[in-house]
A and B are shown apart, each in its own frame.
Chain A
Amino acid sequence: MRIFSVAWHWFGQPEQWTGSDGIPNRLLEHLYYTSLSLLIAAAVAIPLGLLIGHTNRGGFLVVNLSNAARALPTAGVLVLVVTLSGIGLLPVIVALVVLAIPSILVNTYAGVRQVPRETVDAARGMGMRGGQVLWQVETPLAMPLIMTGLRTAAIQIVSTATVAAYVGLGGLGRYIFDGLARRDYPALVGGAVIVVGLALGTEGAFVAVRSLIAKRTQGE
């Protein structure tokens, strides 16, 4: 429990709350890396997942490739891109996007595939074209699984975005990497606690959005 008490003390220091190394700034940086990566990953993975789910072509390949990609260590991808392009935002975003794509892609694909054949056939029978079936039938029915994919990806990104600090950027990882190297354990634990809190908060936000959607659809 001593760990928590020193971290608690660390949170109480006024210098923790101002300046570029203050918690508000580090938190904003962290949220920036996180949301940018999630947005890019979603923009790539959701359309691709919908497409292969709808056409049922290349599903086997894509699902297995994604699962293989999950085995890529984020730190490895990060250093690889750094050696190719130098330090900066790019390597971090690439590493986090690579991390996030598999869970969004696989869930989106599965979401479309689990729509009952009869439903799709009925939609076609009513004269819907392929695009209409995708947008008006398959996508809404796949929504719960797409959201699950996004949620998993978001939590992974939030906790992994700490690696940004390894290549000289900011974010909450700064406290963890600097704390470790300088034997400043209160900062180390404080940083870790904020990351845990942020991950829980992210989970909470997704749960709230889902129950909101559920209420609205039930209300209709």
Chain B
Amino acid sequence: MVRNMRGAVLTLLALFALAACGGNTDNPVDNSGKPADNGTVIVGSANFTENVLLAEIYAAALEAKGVKVERKLNIGSREVIYKQLESGGLSVLPEYNGALLSYLDKTNAAATTAEVNTALKGKLPAAVELLDSAKAEDKDSVTVTKETATKYNLKSIADLGPVAKDLVIGGPPEFKTRRQGIVGLKEVYGLEFKDFRSLDVAGPVTVSALKKGDIQAANLFSTDPALEVNDFVALDDPKALFGAQNVTPIVNKAVGEKARTVLNSIAPKLDTATLTQLMRKVSVDKQDPDKVAKEWLKSVGLA
């Protein structure tokens, strides 16, 4: 047993020694770069409910028009999946135009939908294209409980100025390092919170932490039914830190004309109220996203 242990430790050390001589590149676990088989559209999504729902809507709409679809849903944060779209590992992603622009260009100040989309087209790499934006917007928000809002008389993020130093804010780990997060809150609003807690992506952990008072402010999404259910208040964003956030499909260049037409036909039908309703069906009534997607597409004549 003791000898086994020693062997294991020695092997580990040897691995390290070998590794130390190796090359240095930015992404050691990226094994993508294999574009899809002819005609198959690979629909991906980030790891939060609404993005999965949107991806199901795209996928079901494509299938209804006879396009072959493969689903790779609930993968990870933008930081992870965007690269996959660029390399062709994924062909379609539901995106939010403002957040994507912020990711590609940390200093860009475009705020309206048109401004954001124009700026985006200039920033996207050759392999990635932007399709039509829907009216539906899902913004990152700084959300507080009704009691907190009343106690400090909070209406907008700017009102947090005098009290932020006493509040703990929670959100997904990437919220801390993104401009549309702690970085921008400090730059644009001059806010420095008492502490930041890394939680999940606007999921049950963040919601219950806010409800129980473990955190006093949270990064939640504006279409999240949990806001309504729990009497949370999403603070206004007068300086447009979170900018326009229209639901917009982005596709890999390899995606064909037919699939693009189908995806663009969804945009005019989808507004924020619709999206919130669909979200409520999924996250409050616990219906399956694929079922909700199909029903809605049928009701608007897209499937």
Does B209 touch A at the CB level, under 8 Å? yes
B204 in contact (CB, < 8 A): yes
Q: How far is the CB of A22 from chain B (nearest CB, A)?
A: 16
Interface size on A, residues (CB 8 A): 37
Q: Write out the residue numbers on chain A whose beta carbons fall within 8 Å of the beta carbon of B98.
A: none
Q: Are B204 and A2 in contact (CB under 8 A)?
A: no
Given A177-B173, A181-B172, A181-B173: A4 in contact with B208 (beta carbons within 8 A): no
Tell me if A200 and B212 are in contact (CB < 8 A).
no
A79 touches B205 (CB 8 A): yes
Q: Are B80 and A5 in contact (CB under 8 A)?
A: no
Which one of A6-14, A31-39, A63-71, A105-113 is at the interface?
A6-14
Across the two chains, which residue of chain B brings its CB closest to A84? B208
A158 to B177, CA, bound (A): 28
Q: How many A-B contacts at CB < 8 Å in the complex? A: 113
For A208, what are the chain B residues with a Cβ–Cβ distance below 8 Å? 2
Contact B22 A182 (CB under 8 A): no
Q: Mark the stretch among A116-124, A128-136, A163-171 that contacts chain B.
A: A163-171
Q: Are A8 and B173 in contact (CB under 8 A)?
A: no
The CA of A9 and the CA of B172, in the complex, are separated in Å by 26
User: What 0/1 pattern do residues 73 to 102 of A give for CB contact below 8 A with B?
Assistant: 000000100110111100000000000000
CB distance from A62 to the nearest CB of B (A): 29
Q: Which of A2, A5, A181, A207 contacts B2 (CB 8 A)?
A: A207
Residue on A with the closest CB to B168? A168
Q: Is the C-beta of A57 less than 8 angstroms from some C-beta in chain B?
A: no
> Residues of A contacting B89 with CB < 8 Å?
none
Q: Given A168-B199, A197-B12: A181 and B77 within 8 A (CB)?
A: yes
Q: Is A15 an interface residue (CB 8 A)?
A: no
Q: Does A26 contact B (CB under 8 A)?
A: no
A183 within 8 A of B: yes
Pair B80/A200 contact, Cβ less than 8 Å: no
Task: State how many angstroms separate the Cβ of B280 from the closest Cβ of chain A.
Answer: 19
Residues in chain A near residue B211, CB distance under 8 A: 86
Q: List 8 A-B contacts (CB under 8 A).
A: A82-B209, A86-B213, A87-B205, A167-B199, A181-B173, A182-B77, A185-B27, A207-B1
